Amino acid sequence: MDTDLLIVGGGPAGCAAAVMAASVGMRSVLIESGDTVCGALRRIPVVSNVLGVTNGPDLATAIEADLARCDLCRVALDSRATTIDAFDDRVEVAVEPVTPVGSARGPGARLTAPYVVVATGVGPLGPEGAGWLGGVAGRALPPLWEADPAAVDGRTVLVLGADRPLGTVARAHPELRTRFVVAYPPEDAYKIEEIRRDSRVELVAVRRLEFGPSSAPVTAEVRTVEGERRVLTADLAFLNLGSAPAPPAGAVAADPSGYCPPRSQHPRVFTAGDLRSVRFQRIATAMGSGGEAALGAYYASRGLPTESGGLPTEIGGPPTKTDGPPTEVGGPPDPAGGG
Ligand SMILES: Cc1cc2nc3c(=O)[nH]c(=O)nc-3n(C[C@H](O)[C@H](O)[C@H](O)COP(=O)(O)OP(=O)(O)OC[C@H]3O[C@@H](n4cnc5c(N)ncnc54)[C@H](O)[C@@H]3O)c2cc1C
């Protein structure tokens, strides 16, 4: 074995797994495709729901320093895990170097350990997966979180989808005099709470949006959820559709929505962070689940169960016979994940 624990993904979930593993004496190798850990955090200017921090870059710097002090963890940057294979006695992760476009790629590696924590997060959804959008082919639609504040100040911006980066932009830039016209499908309705009181935001619930030919100004014909037809006009348009998980190929099991709940995995594979569920995509939950995944591997390595498995017989007594059909406890799995 190369190490005690392989960790794929160096966001808050993977980094928390690394320090937790070290705290119980486990060596780990953390495989990160970027040139730094916590790349996503570095793009969040304001954080208001994590104890002890107020912005993403400071948190990323603090996490990086914690990892640097962690003797038992080796961080492999610029390294992409392509495949994860799980066997009875080990896991194997195929890793290839990430090199700048056009330069020669070095040799890959195959790392082996008793357990792997997979915390590869989610990536932005493209317009091709959004059936409610039309006329998007060949149109430049950058993600909203990449918008340059100076370029949108004083302008009308058409935002496609009501995902959370809009709240981040609005909170981070109260000074912006931007008008955000947000066209969103019914399935995004639960996301608007964070932004609907911002006077710069106009929310338009739509069933269909079809772009017109012009790109400056942008025009789009929409059919609203009430059946009304409207034409929206803006200076610029940005995507804000949400994200989807993209774990390495192989042993990581996904549910029908594409997310990878911990309970569905091979006994040697632990998933953590945003990858687990569409519902719990937050920094604090990512860190908590990363630490929990590492502890899961630690207890498994010692043959100690982590599920309670019901009451011990001395307390609960012998099982009693019941009439009627067995009752299902917990209900069917949540198709959208559930973490
Ligand atoms: C604009 C924006 C604003 C946000 N604001 C907040 C906020 O205010 N509060 C909050 O709680 N949350 C916020 N979030 C969500 C938060 O960033 C995530 O919940 C958190 O980063 C998830 O951590 P993670 O470790 O699961 O995934 P990530 O942080 O996405 O880390 C995953 C890592 O895995 C790496 N990776 C992916 N595939 C591979 C591979 N095959 N091999 C090797 N490495 C790989 C990636 O490079 C990445 O570094 C925000 C997100 C965005 C996009």
**DSSP H helical ranges for the chain:** 12-23, 56-68, 149-152, 165-172, 283-301, 313-316
- DSSP, collapsed to helix, strand or coil, labels residue 167 as helix
Ligand 1 mutation pick, 29, 37, 283, max ligand atoms within 8 A of CB? 283
Query: Which residue lies with its CA nearest to atom 15 of ligand 1?
Result: 282
| Residues 219-258: b if buried by 16+ CB within 10 A, e if exposed | bbbbeeeeeeeeebebbbbbbbbbbebebbebbbeebebe
Q: Are 8 and 76 in contact (CB under 8 A)?
A: no
What separation in Å is there between the alpha carbon of 47 and the centre of ligand 1? 13
Per-residue confidence (pLDDT) for residue 322, from 0 to 100: 37
For ligand 1, atom 2: residue with the closest CA: 165
CA-nearest residue, atom 7 of ligand 1: 47
Domain ranges for the chain: 5-124+243-302, 127-239
What is the residue-level pLDDT of the chain in tens, covering all 339 positions? 999 999 999 999 999 999 999 999 999 999 999 999 999 999 999 999 999 999 999 999 999 999 999 999 999 999 999 999 999 999 999 999 998 777 777 788 999 999 999 999 998 888 988 999 999 988 889 999 889 999 999 999 999 999 989 998 999 999 999 999 999 999 999 999 989 999 999 999 999 999 998 777 899 999 999 999 999 999 999 999 988 998 999 999 999 889 999 999 999 999 999 999 988 999 999 999 999 999 999 999 999 988 754 444 333 334 433 333 333 333 333 333 332
| Domain over 5-124+243-302 is classified CATH 3.50.50.60 | yes
Q: Which of 168, 270, 271, 276 to mutate to test the pocket of ligand 1 (most atoms within 8 A of CB)?
A: 168
The residue type of 228 is E
Amino acid identity for residue 81 in this structure: A
276-311: burial string, b at 16+ Cβ within 10 Å, e else: bbbebbbbebbbbbbbbbbbbbbebeeeeeeeeeee
* CA–CA distances in Å: residue 275 to residues 35, 40, 231, 278: 20, 14, 37, 8
Burial of 336 (0-12, 13-18, 19+ CB in 10 A): middle
Partners of residue 260 on adjacent β-strands? none
Structure tokens at 251: 């042993």
- For residue 248, say if its preceding peptide bond is cis, omega within 30 degrees of 0: no
Question: Under a CB-based contact definition with an 8 Å cutoff, are residues 277 and 151 in contact?
Answer: no
Q: Do domains 5-124+243-302 and 127-239 have the same CATH topology?
A: yes
Residues with CB under 6 A from ligand 1: 8-14, 31-34, 39-41, 44, 47, 49-50, 80-81, 119-121, 145, 164-165, 168, 248, 273-275, 281-284, 286
What residues pair up with 31 in beta bridges, in sequence order?
A: 8, 76
Please tell me the distance from the alpha carbon of residue 114 to that of residue 28, in angstroms, as a whole number.
Answer: 11
- Which residue has a Cα nearest atom 35 of ligand 1? 9
Q: How far apart are the CA of 275 and the centre of ligand 1, in A?
A: 9
Three-class DSSP category at 190: helix
Positive or negative, the CA dihedral 198, 202, 206, 211 is negative
Among residues 161, 165, 170, 172, the alpha carbon closest in space to that of 198 is found at 170
Cα(217) to centroid(ligand 1), Å? 33
Q: Which CATH architecture has domain 127-239?
A: 3-Layer(bba) Sandwich (3.50)
Smallest CA-to-CA distance from 94 within 104, 105, 80, 106 is with 80
d(CA 52, CA 67): 18
Among 281, 289, 292, residue to substitute to test ligand 1 (most atoms within 8 Å of Cβ): 281
3-state secondary structure at position 163: coil
Q: What is the pTM of this model?
A: 0.80
- The preferred substitution site among 274, 280, 292 for testing ligand 1, maximizing ligand atoms within 8 Å of CB, is 274
> What does the block give as tokens for 101?
């476009």
Looking at residue 321, the DSSP 8-state letter turns out to be P
Q: Measured between alpha carbons, how far is 171 from 149 in angstroms, rounded to an integer?
A: 12
